[in-house]
A = this chain, B = another copy of it.
Amino acid sequence: MLKLPAAELFEIPDETIYLDGNSLGPLPSGVTAKLGAMLRDEWGEMLITGWNNAHWMEQPARVADMLAPIIGAPAGSVMMGDTLSIKVYQALAAALNMRPQRRVVLSDTGNFPTDLYMADGLLKMLGEEYELRVVDPSQVIESINSEIAAVMLTQVDYRTGKLYDMQQVTDAAHAADAVTIWDLAHSAGAIPVELEACKTEFAVGCTYKYLNGGPGAPAFIYVRPDLIDSVQPALAGWLGHEAPFAFDLDYRPGTGIERMRVGTPPVMQMTALEESLQMWKNIDMGQLRERSIELSELFIREVENRCPQLQLASPRDPQERGSQVSFRFEHGYAAMQALIDHGVIGDFRAPDIMRFGITPLYIGEREIQRAASILQDIISNEIWRAEKYQVRSRVT
């Protein structure tokens, strides 16, 4: 197993403490060479024959099978492709098709907005009788009833890091015969996930956060193995067809998880991701989680001791927290800009949340201590008041 931290596996700039791996993971060391080789030896040399000879066509399934063990899924139950937004749509459309008599999708106010937007777009198209019911996270379980076709939640709240008990909610949904869709954006590679054991029908996620697949890395969808051959693909793309190269006029869904493919896969992104996932063969998720909790506890202790102006926004119980720590601070936006300017990269979520991703693959005690000390300097000396830290940029 990998000795942690293993920062040598990444190309992280000197003097940078990177606490934003929950938003975009850093560049794994092998990716640049791998992608260069793919361009030169595959696209450049093989041209169109790369689809066969470099196995581009099978790559999404192959990469998915590398990812599967990280989320407790069996081989053949996960497919890579598209974006997380598209995969949410695909899962929800399939779920609604499985419960044709029901009209309500249940989600919560802690869900990442694009999940809610995609659901809204789908339900609006299906007609006025459909409803997206968005409740407070504390009310999800009591809101599950026989009206609910699907319960669609993100396991780890993107702002606070609050963690759902996936088993408990899934069981409650199943007791009401509702389908579950779990968004693992902040779970995959962050905490142990046992998809197969939990019996959720669907899960989706992205790979550019804790899995370090790079900006815009492909998303994934999981379908419970016993359902794969009956799921109805709403996004009926040719690569999910039973025989894409027969060019039949009629759609016939492919066998198994292949039917969740849509269009031509982004081979460059897929190649970068495939290389990024290599390290996970040597990572024990239990050990990673243990380190994540130790480092998170240390960070909370240090920040609370040094910066009484900040209030912990994440759950105090580590068992209820993903692999991030968030603090509320009225001037959080400016403070985060100042922090980034001083080499500690976290991010900000409106209205007042400073987010810090705790990623034991490349963060250790030394980085946590140093980040807390720089944060203390910025807060107690009000360095964030400088005008340059007040200017809002589009992406934070």
The residues of A with any CB-CB pair to B shorter than 8 Å are 11-13, 16, 18, 20, 23-24, 26-27, 31-32, 35-36, 39-40, 43-45, 47-52, 56-57, 82-86, 89, 93, 97, 109, 112-114, 116-118, 120-122, 124-126, 134, 206, 208, 214-219, 232-239, 241, 244-251, 262-270, 272, 340, 345, 347, 349-350, 393-396
Contacting pair A238 B45 (CB below 8 A) = no
* CB within 8 Å for A84 and B264 given contacts A49-B340, A345-B47: yes
Contacting pair A264 B206 (CB below 8 A) = yes
Q: For the complex formed by this chain, how many copies does it contain in all? A: 2
Task: Name the contact of A349 in the complex, choosing from B116, B217, B247, B347 (C-beta under 8 A).
Answer: B247
Interchain residue pairs with CB less than 8 A apart (29): A11-B44, A13-B44, A13-B45, A18-B47, A24-B50, A27-B39, A32-B39, A36-B36, A39-B214, A51-B395, A56-B215, A57-B394, A85-B237, A85-B262, A86-B235, A109-B249, A113-B241, A113-B247, A114-B263, A116-B249, A121-B236, A122-B234, A134-B249, A206-B264, A215-B264, A216-B264, A216-B266, A219-B263, A245-B394
Q: With A and B bound together, what is the CA distance between A349 and B245 in angstroms?
A: 8
Contacting pair B264 A268 (CB below 8 A) = no
Contacting pair B43 A20 (CB below 8 A) = no
Q: With A and B bound together, what is the CA distance between A268 and B269 in angstroms?
A: 6
